[in-house]
Structure 1
């Protein structure tokens, strides 16, 4: 490919091969954040640390992701994107290998944090794909990429559990992932088009502009807060689910726990439909329905310790809601100029994953002090708060429209 501008590709947008490669890359990249989740119990035993300490690995990966969102993703507006994507993918090979070979818990924590930082290549790819698509199908294109991202998040747990069960070692999943990312780097280099930078500025000016773009627009601010709350609910659930499934209520092994990612993946497949809906329904209205589904999922999950059916349905509803809410939020922010999209993505997703990090810690605290009931209570409070913010944001958008 020899394209050097950043205008959308003609008519139909990116080819199917490019789009599917970007979706695959997005999923494989973000999966690195979640390989550890079903393995926390085994890691705690091997390194002789508490369950609470092991759960901090999830928080570290999400904090690393938030750092990468703020400091690396904006470079997608400043540097040639294909080169940036390939370089980050190759560096992630090294961090995954370091994690696989970690001799001490501290080294493991550093490896997971660095993998989290580099996993933000997924968000560079989301903004990249949005820039390649004409306005009429941007929601569909972003929905396809987000399907890859959500499948990566959820199937990471399945792959992690199954590979660990097959090999007897949690380290094997990180070694396998490193090999996969190496092959992916070659594929990305061969297929992605070259795209010239859109923004010329110093690095400091670039980062400062992220804060200006997010804080200066009340609609974007509200989307960032909704994203933070929704990712917080998502992280609180998946961090503590391992403890519920490994505990007295179910007593499942790591391999079986990992299979719950397949249940969530069924929900993630709705991301493509959500993207199509945002091309037809105003996303600031659609998000009220997705957040309502979030709240309903927690009502189902309240019965999870007693009912496997309630747990499975709750997982599906929660993951549908998480994917759809994120796509609705991005549908709003991608209405801004193309030259701002990487920075808006950075600001929005940084808030979202900071919310995820807080949700992981809060979920672990709620589990420790209130068991599964405490986790459900936390999720309901966050869901109702997000609905209130969305309602306020809807009134703001409608007032703007009426004034305009």
Structure 2
């Protein structure tokens, strides 16, 4: 049985998620000032945002499956160091090319977030898996929204480079803390070159962190088709591709995530536009404060993990998507008072986080032996949806104003609800892992 994750470890893992994902989104609030100093303008500014997102997408495909092959604690530590390295390169970049390279490197290894979620799923007892995933993934939303406030304050007072300097230091500090506080989740991997005769019995010693009595002897049998780690990595990549094409639960929950985060991206990539325009004319720091409203909703939704543990993940998904669609009717009102907008932001982020936690709980429960691969595949839908929302909200705003953006965000929410309704029967039944 998996060992219990302590409260302190949950805090460390949530912090890892928050800081790592911040390296991707920190450039958005300071984009204009960074572009001015780096000699970039107009469409060239979009390349800075795209660099981190493209690196992140590549990491989802190529790096996250490593969690099903290697010790996830080691991966968490290593990825944090490399994410911090990318942030440091960005903070010191003399020009746009170097800054883009740093952002791409940070984005590539920021997929430590998904390795962390897989670590939690693999090391949590079944009755606590949803709660632990909910707590840790709340760090993701904390990072996405909180970094807007951090970047706004630091950017206005110390300059945009200070944002990435702080993130670099935090990544390196968390790498050390993770190495000291987390236990290994190393799984036994038997190789064909182990020097033993095929089918020979090999008695190995398992330790306490494997969930068994310390030093208990376990006799395992080696088979001729045992493969080295590199071959297993290729197998894991191939299996992830097959899962996307053939597993109805993953495809259904992935499509829900695609529209869910398109709706989320519509809000957070476009909200600065009406707040910076008449009649408000807010600056970067004040706009960043609106992230606090989102944090309230996201933190409140951490309870969704416990609901999922109790078997309510499907119901939570349905009513949360309804709430998401309804929240846009409030978010559309930006005058004469901002209170409807603030209320809508709280409800929207609550709904998004509740669905996100429920999705990951269902997927990791259905595929416990390959939680890293399935989360990586799922998050690829998330990444594409976020990009769609970020792109289309500016188009809608330019065409017909903020209410057009809100109508678009509501349409994405309704699309997610339609996918949930169409796949409800599939999601309600157990999914058999692919061999």
- Normalising by structure 1, report the TM-score: 0.91
Q: CA deviation at 1:109?
A: 2.7
Q: CA deviation at 1:107?
A: 2.8
Are the equivalent residues in 1 in contact too, given 2:80–2:112 (CA < 8 A)? yes
1:41 maps to 2:35: no
1:247 maps to 2:277: yes
Q: Which residue in the other structure is 1:394 paired with?
A: 424
Q: Give the counterpart of 2:254 among 224, 228, 232.
A: 224
Q: CA deviation at 1:140?
A: 0.7
**Distance (Å, rounded) in 2 between the aligned partners of 1:53 and 1:301:** 30
Q: In structure 2, do the counterparts of structure 1 residues 312 and 255 end up closer, same or farther at CA, with 3 Å as the change threshold?
A: same
1:81 maps to 2:81: no
**Distance (Å, rounded) in 1 between the aligned partners of 2:105 and 2:282:** 30
What secondary structure is seen at the aligned counterpart in 2 of 1:33? helix
**Distance (Å, rounded) in 1 between the aligned partners of 2:97 and 2:278:** 30
Q: Give the counterpart of 2:22 among 24, 27, 31.
A: 31
Aligned length, in residue pairs: 391
- After alignment, is 221-230 or 200-209 more displaced? 200-209
**Distance (Å, rounded) in 2 between the aligned partners of 1:247 and 1:19:** 40
**Distance (Å, rounded) in 1 between the aligned partners of 2:302 and 2:141:** 10
**Distance (Å, rounded) in 1 between the aligned partners of 2:51 and 2:277:** 24
Provide structure 1 residue ranges, at least 5 long, that are not aligned to the other structure: 1-6
Structure whose CA Rg is larger:
2
**Distance (Å, rounded) in 1 between the aligned partners of 2:347 and 2:383:** 20
Q: Which residue in the other structure is 1:4 paired with?
A: none
- Superposed counterparts of 1:222-371, under 5 Å: 222-304=252-334, 306-371=336-401
**Distance (Å, rounded) in 1 between the aligned partners of 2:38 and 2:261:** 29
Are the equivalent residues in 2 in contact too, given 1:67–1:350 (CA < 8 A)? no
Structure with the larger helix share: 1
CA deviations on 1:229-269 (whole Å, 9 max, x unpaired) are 11111112111112222222321111112211212111111
Q: Which residue in the other structure is 1:174 paired with?
A: 164
Are the equivalent residues in 2 in contact too, given 1:244–1:305 (CA < 8 A)? no
Q: Which residue in the other structure is 1:158 paired with?
A: 149
CA deviations on 1:374-396 (whole Å, 9 max, x unpaired) are 31121121111111000011133
Query: Which structure's relative contact order is higher, taking Cα pairs within 8 Å and 6+ residues apart?
Result: 1
CA deviations on 1:53-106 (whole Å, 9 max, x unpaired) are 434543442332222111111100111111111111111111101111222233
CA deviations on 1:321-352 (whole Å, 9 max, x unpaired) are 11111011112102223211111001001111
Are the equivalent residues in 2 in contact too, given 1:8–1:132 (CA < 8 A)? yes
Q: Give the counterpart of 1:100 among 82, 91, 108.
A: 91
Q: CA deviation at 1:370?
A: 2.7
Q: Give the counterpart of 2:185 among 195, 206, 212.
A: 195
**Distance (Å, rounded) in 2 between the aligned partners of 1:146 and 1:289:** 20
Q: In structure 2, do the counterparts of structure 1 residues 53 and 66 end up closer, same or farther at CA, with 3 Å as the change threshold?
A: same
**Distance (Å, rounded) in 2 between the aligned partners of 1:18 and 1:361:** 37
CA deviations on 1:149-197 (whole Å, 9 max, x unpaired) are 2212211111111111222x11111011111111111101111111224
**Distance (Å, rounded) in 1 between the aligned partners of 2:36 and 2:404:** 25
Q: Which residue in the other structure is 1:205 paired with?
A: 235
**Distance (Å, rounded) in 2 between the aligned partners of 1:32 and 1:256:** 21
- Superposed counterparts of 1:45-124, under 5 Å: 45-47=36-38, 49-50=40-41, 53-124=44-115
